[in-house]
A and B are shown apart, each in its own frame.
Chain A
Amino acid sequence: MRRWHIVVVLALILQTLPARAGDLSIELAPDAKNPPAPQMGDNLSFHSIIRSNGPATVEGVIAWLSLVQIDPGREQPVDLEDWSAHKAVTAAALDAGETLEADWPLRLIQAGTYRVVVSAANRDGVDLATSPFEDFVVREKPVVESQRVLPVALAIPILIGIAMSWRRWNA
């Protein structure tokens, strides 16, 4: 009888404890339509599934995407403002077993090797839940083509100069 009481009390205590972010698990996978060898200017998409593993309801869930560059000598977090307008997803509550799915579009701004990860926190939890890393490499793409800029930058002033000379000659 006493053992039964202890079980009930423990269950009640567990019920009242705040859900930890550790109760959340996150899967992250690249979209099947992503280009196999992406280059600057391409768009990638990643799909995440955040699952509440229970037993308690997880309240105030917020999940976000992080991107880091891992090229040797250039290791740095990347400011996503320019890469994605998709800032975060939220859920008021996730019951045990419930999932929160999200797509994370990225526009590839700069060449390099990158790792992307989705993190999730909740209102009362003490841990941060993270997905496994997804790595990708962005190939270089020339953004300013000198064979286009040079003719324009040189030819237009020269043409106007010729027009001025012609006008002066015929004045």
Chain B
Amino acid sequence: MPILLIAGKEAGELLLSVRGLAWLLVFSVVLSAFSLLLVSDTELSLLDNAQVVYDMTGIATALGGLLALIVGVDTIAGERERGSLVPLLLTTVSRDGILLGKLGGIAVAWVVIYVLAAPYLWAVGSTGQNLSDGLLGLALLGTPVVLGFGFLGMGLGAWLGTARTGLLIGLIVLVLAASPLLLGPSLRQTAVGRAFDAVNPFSAAINAYDAVIIDSVSVAAQATNLAVTAAWFALALWFARASFCRIAR
């Protein structure tokens, strides 16, 4: 299967090379630093514990989105600049096959991030609340958000042609989307904040994490947030396909 071959090659470059492992090391150091901060806090309440699990799921989603975006841009625009995309386009593999194969590499990297984040979540959240639901929420809502950013990166890389511009625009979009992680609740309660929240897939994901982990609402009640993240995934897929087809013209 050519799709699996492409996915295996992309995942191998991300996970098995020394340079590829460096991002995993940085990711684990970020989570380790966050976890160690907690050990020194002797006045944590159960709510704070849930807050930490919520923060960690948000960080994992943001880092996953960042990785997916950068790899997405690089896998099209970067390879185009390095001259390795054209030979791939000349093969018999369909455009959709190439796109799916390249997304496969990003999906494998996201799985690795998820697996890497799980012991940290267990370590800080095992005595708190809703850990398993939090992990389920991260899988259900984080996955379409992260893979959507992978498609966005591929779409930008194909559409703009240069990795630098694609990265710049993609990072701006990611920072904007992930801004609810930094904004206080009061800012998000304004009319503009609520409207932004309603269409922002990242907001949908972290609002669901908040509801599930902190407010003990069931994952099944997050249908609206799931729909927003699914819509984001579909929109990003459409953009990536449309942009990637332009390359052949």
B126: which of A145, A163, A171 is its contact (CB, 8 Å)?
A145
Would A156 and B32 count as touching, CB distance under 8 A?
Answer: yes
Contact A157-B41, Cβ < 8 Å, known A41-B129, A82-B47, A163-B21: no
Max chain A C-beta neighbours (<10 A), residue from B45, B120, B129, B215: B45
Closest chain A residue, CB of each to CB of B23: A160
8 A Cβ contacts from B94-128 to A: 116, 119-120, 122-124, 126-128
Contacts of B28 in A (CB 8 A): 156-157, 160
One of A24-32, A115-123, A127-135, A146-154 at the interface:
A146-154
B39: which of A108, A141, A146 is its contact (CB, 8 Å)?
A146
Q: Within the assembled complex, what's the spacing in Å between the Cα atoms of A163 and B17? A: 10
Closest chain A residue, CB of each to CB of B24: A160
Q: Within the assembled complex, what's the spacing in Å between the Cα atoms of A161 and B29? A: 11
Would B46 and A110 count as touching, CB distance under 8 A?
Answer: yes
What is the size category of the interface that chain B forms with chain A? 35 or more
Q: Chain B: interface secondary structure?
A: helix
26 inter-chain pairs at a CB distance below 8 angstroms, sorted by A residue, are A41-B129, A82-B214, A107-B46, A109-B45, A110-B46, A141-B46, A143-B44, A143-B45, A143-B46, A143-B127, A143-B128, A144-B127, A145-B127, A146-B39, A149-B35, A149-B38, A149-B123, A152-B32, A153-B32, A154-B32, A156-B28, A156-B32, A156-B120, A157-B28, A157-B32, A171-B18
20 further A-B pairs in the complex, CB-CB below 8 A; given A144-B52, A157-B25: A109-B46, A109-B47, A110-B45, A111-B45, A142-B127, A143-B127, A144-B124, A148-B123, A149-B38, A149-B39, A149-B124, A151-B123, A152-B120, A153-B36, A156-B32, A156-B116, A157-B29, A161-B25, A163-B21, A164-B22
